[in-house]
Amino acid sequence: MKAALQRLQKRAHGDRGFTLIELLVVVVIIGVLVAIAIPVYMNYTKGAADKSAQSDVRSAITAVESYYTMNGNKYPDSATNQDKGFSLGTGAATQQVAVSEGTTLTYVKDTGTNTYRICAKNGSGTGAVYQYDSAKGGAVKAAPGVTVEACGAAGAAATTPAAG
């Protein structure tokens, strides 16, 4: 019996490897890290898509204002629900508007007040619609309650807080 015990100890001493418990601990740690990383990555990609829509609005503002300057202070005709790059106006003063993949952009000219509104949303983002209203100026902002399709009709009213 003593000889068998010595053989087992000698054999165990020569074996070098991981126990099942050690392997399970490593698998659990990797699982926890993956469970943390995936939601962070998903939020990151949604945020990037939203930034893409905001950037598209800013580039459209530049194109509209360039057109305005080059055409005797006249804004181009409206362009709604654009999901790829498009042109504003015709002829030598044509301005190109770039629209990122997954983004839908609407430019609406208000002829009565000589102002315009631009709205954009990226389908891969959080669902927020970003709007610029030339009558108010300022930054491109999220516009709760506004859709890209109804940007011109609902723009100003939907972004004004209700009195109450």
Cα–Cα dist 112/44, whole Å:
41
With a cut of 80, say whether residue 20 has pLDDT above it.
yes
Tokens, residue 151? 């940007």
Candidates 106, 99, 85; CA nearest to 53 is 99
* Residue 113 included in any domain: yes
In terms of Cβ atoms closer than 10 Å to its own Cβ (0-12, 13-18, 19+), residue 156 is middle
- What is the chain's mean pLDDT, rounded? 85
Per the domain annotation, does 145 fall within a domain?
A: yes
Least confident of 61-70, 85-94, 123-132: 85-94
Give the pLDDT of residue 121.
95
Q: Is residue 62 part of a domain?
A: yes
Q: Give residue 40's domain range.
A: 29-159
pLDDT computed for residue 14 by the predictor:
55
Task: Indicate the pLDDT class of residue 151, thresholds 50, 70 and 90.
Answer: confident
72, two tokens: 């005797």
Determine how many CB atoms are found less than 10 A away from the CB of residue 132: 25
In a domain, 112, yes or no: yes
Of residues 20 and 10, the one with the higher pLDDT is 20
Element (H, E) at 8: helix 2-14
Q: What is the average per-residue pLDDT within 61-80?
A: 90
Task: Say which residue, 112 or 52, is predicted with more confidence.
Answer: 52
Res 158: pLDDT: 36
Q: Which of 126, 157, 153 has the alpha carbon at shortest distance from 142?
A: 126
Q: What is the DSSP letter of 93?
A: G
Question: Which tokens hold the place of 56?
Answer: 């598209």
Report the pLDDT averaged over residues 112-140. Answer: 92
Number of domains in the chain: 1
Inside any domain, residue 146: yes
